[in-house]
Each structure stands twice: as structure tokens, then as C-alpha cells.
Structure 1
């Protein structure tokens, strides 16, 4: 089972890094699309179950599940997942919550306390749209999104860049910059540890889209 304690050391081994959503933990994140791309870092020694859930708050402040996916994880590295456009009711200006949790065994229904991220859907303004239209590479788009505060879009573009260049260099830099930007001691250290593991050639591999995961499973 992957470690759930967020207390890390600078030389953390892959198995000691908790399953972590690449998202801010101390402020509300932003995405420019209603079908967001999510990414997380996983470590696996034995197969275990991962659950990703999206919620919105109703008018009475009760939570409403709008999308959920479970799968069996069997390997370490980065996983990305784009919420299908026909399976989300998100709209511009809406806030939603992402929960990422695990169960120690594939057939276990008892999940750990989730990693929770709060996200606003905020379609780009005219100036950002114009700048993005002139950007020629995922890296350039990522820089524009990061400057405008769109964490999830910046990560999405950096994952594209990593796949194209076969290098995590710019994603590592982004994660370490975010860690220094006031993400809280535990989450900041986790982001740094993930960045350091991406530097390890033994772990370096193409980012895995979830629909290409060798052992997907939905309930």
C-alpha cells in the first residue's frame, strides 16, 4: 500500500510519496475548460484501488457527485485523466471539488481520507485567448496559463510537452515553483519530492493517460 503520511524527506523514495493530485492545496485552483484534465502521482508496490470523484455544491450547500471513476493501479508514475465532455455538467463560473483517494487492496471498499482540491471553472478572457492563439508550443501555452493562475491548464500543457520532448524538466520546474509559492509545508514537500522522482531515469516514462492504463476498472 502506498504511504499516506504527507511528512516527507528531501530524499524520499517513490514508495514514501503519497498518492497526490497535481493541484493547489491552500487556495482555489482554476481551469479554463468545463471538461478538465486532472493529473496525479502514484506509487505502487502491490495493486491498489484509486478513486477520483468530482462534486459540486447545491444551493443548500449539500454536495452533489457529478463524476466518479475507479481503477486498479499497478505501477508508479504520473497518470492523467480528462473528464469526458458528455459526462460533466460543469459550467463557466462554477466551483467544483476533486477528491482523490485509495483503497489498500483492489477488492477493498474502505478508502483513505481523500486529497481534496477546490477548483473554479473560469473561461479565458479575450487577452488570454489572443495570447494562447499565438503560442506555438505546449510549453509556451503552459507559461501563459501559469502566469494567469490556471494551475490545471498549465499542468495539462506541461504533460503534453513532457510527452513530446520525453523530458520532465519544465514540469519539474513548475512543481518546485508552486511548492515555493505558499502551498503549505507538507504539500510543498510532496510536490518537491515528486519533482525529484521525475528526475530519476528509472521512473522516467511517458505520462500515462488513464484510458491507456494496463488495468483500468470502473465499478
Structure 2
């Protein structure tokens, strides 16, 4: 799963080598090996569906895993087939990601603007949208012009400003309400964004 999402075929090859080395070493029965292949096949299909992809774009329209296994009988054949399928899946997922980065960034932006008060991190949102955190961070900055953390901080400060203007909530209450865990960090970010402290901003507005 991890290797496919990150297009890391070196990692997936290493995992397969470990699996099949163990299969050979333990002299696993052919029936059990085939059951393992089916489990891996199901796992690959799950990853593809998570990206709203079509498994038949990788395996072909008429593919049937059970019919396929009836025609194969050696560990080498299974391993070579899985290597090819996983490499094809990596390429397919990569194509999906490349074709939809703008829509994903828009979804992430919408999510931040709606749930900015929650404990959000790039990693949690990357997991939520089935993206590698590093890759999501890169396309997020490319599309918005801001890093994930800077964007999140700005959204929180904008909402803090709204509450400072329209409510009598205390400064620390507003900090907590918009998602800041520490009051000192809130003051630091607020001043960086507005050039003023929250208290001074309220007094002047």
C-alpha cells in the first residue's frame, strides 16, 4: 500500500522479495501461496478504488484472478506477475494523481476552511485524501502560493479577527476556538499576519 501510493517500486520489490523468500524457505503449500496472491490482489484493488480508479485499467477487462492462478504453478511465475502488476499499478495511481492535483488541493482548502478549528496537520489530511504528505505539500504550495501550515494559520487568524470584531470573547477563548493550542503561538502568528497583537487589534477596531 505504502509503496504503491508513493510510486516506490524499489520498496515494493523489496517487500515481494521478502515474502517469496519466506515462502520458499518455509516450503509453503501451493494452495496457501495462491491464497496469499488473492489477498495481495484484493489489496491492490482496494488501493486503486481508494483513488476512484478502475482495476480493469490495470488488469484488463476480462481478468479473473482464479482463472489466472489455475494457469500458473511456480513461485517464480507468481512473483514475476505481481512485480509487473504492482509496477503497472504505481504508474496508474501516479497518472490519476497527476491528472487531479488541482481538484484535490481545492478539496483540501475547502476542508481547512470548514474544519480549521480542529487539530489539522498535513499528514492527517494527506491520509484522509490518500496522498503522500510530501507530494500533497508540494502541490498545495504550487496551487495556493502558501505552505500548508501558513495557509492554515492564516485561515485561523482570519476567523480570530472576525470573532475579535463581533464578539466579547476573551482573547485566549478565541485562540482556542479557532484551533490554536498555545496562547503564545497564537500571539506570534497573529502579529505576523496582522502586524498587531490581538488585544491591540480589538482596541483599534
Q: Is the radius of gyration larger for structure 1 or structure 2?
A: 2
Question: So what's the TM-score if we normalise by structure 1?
Answer: 0.21
Would you tell me which structure has more strand in proportion to its own residues? Answer: 1
Question: So what's the TM-score if we normalise by structure 2?
Answer: 0.22
Would you tell me which structure has more helix in proportion to its own residues? Answer: 2
**Larger relative contact order, structure 1 or 2 (CA cutoff 8 Å, min sep 6):** 1
